[in-house]
Amino acid sequence: MKFIKPNLLPNMLTIGNMAIGIAVILLTRQNSSAVYIRVACGFIFVAVILDMLDGYVARCLNVASEMGKQLDSFSDLVTFGIAPVAIFISLYNPVPWYITIILLIYPISGGYRLARYNLQEDSSYFTGLPITVSGLIQATVLMVNSFLHTEPVIIYMIFISISLILSVLMVGRFKVNRILKF
C-alpha cells in the first residue's frame, strides 16, 4: 500500500518554486527596503536550487511527466520571469510607462523560451539561455545593487540593458548543453 505517490516529491519541489515566485511578488508589494529586496533575491536563489532538483528527482524516480514539465514552466515564468521585474519596479515605483513597456519584453521572452522548450522533442539541451539562469542574473544584479545603493538612473540603465540582453539570449536559437545530466 503506497501512501505517497512517487511524483509527489518532484511536483512539491516545483510548487515550492512557484510559491517562492509568488511570495517574492507579494513581498515586494509590502516593502521595498534593502532588507526586503535582499530577502526577495535570496528567495529567488533558493528557487534556482528547487528548479534544478525537481527535474533531477523526477528523472531519478522515473516519474517525469508532461504535467510536471508544464507545471515547471509556469513556475519558472513566475519566479524567474516576473518576480525579478517586480523587485525592480518595487524599488523605483512609479516606473515611467516607457520603462514598463521595455520591462515587459523580459518575461514575455522568458515565456516564449519556455513554450519553445516544452515543444522541443530532444530535452538533452536547451535552445536559448534558460530562464532560470536569466532570473539568477537579474536577482544577483538587484542583490548587489541593494548593497551599493546605486543612483536610480544608473541602475535603470544597468537593469534595463541586462533585461534586454537576457531577453535576446533567451529567444536565441543557439543550443546550451544541460549542466545536470543525471
CATH number, position 172: 1.20.120.1760
Q: Looking at residue 13, what is its pLDDT?
A: 95
Do the domain assignments include residue 65?
A: yes
Number of compact structural domains in the chain: 1
Do the domain assignments include residue 12?
A: yes
Q: Looking at residue 152, what is its pLDDT?
A: 79
Do the domain assignments include residue 1?
A: no
Parent domain of 151 = 8-177
Q: Looking at residue 122, what is its pLDDT?
A: 75
Do the domain assignments include residue 117?
A: yes
pTM of the full structure:
0.91
Q: Looking at residue 3, what is its pLDDT?
A: 60
Do the domain assignments include residue 37?
A: yes
For 22, list phi and psi in degrees, rounded to 5.
-65, -45
Do the domain assignments include residue 99?
A: yes
Do the domain assignments include residue 104?
A: yes
Do the domain assignments include residue 147?
A: yes
Residues of the chain with pLDDT below 50 are 1, 181-182
DSSP class per residue in 19-38: HHHHHHHHHHHH--SHHHHH
- Residue 50's nearest CA partner among 23, 96, 91, 18 is 18
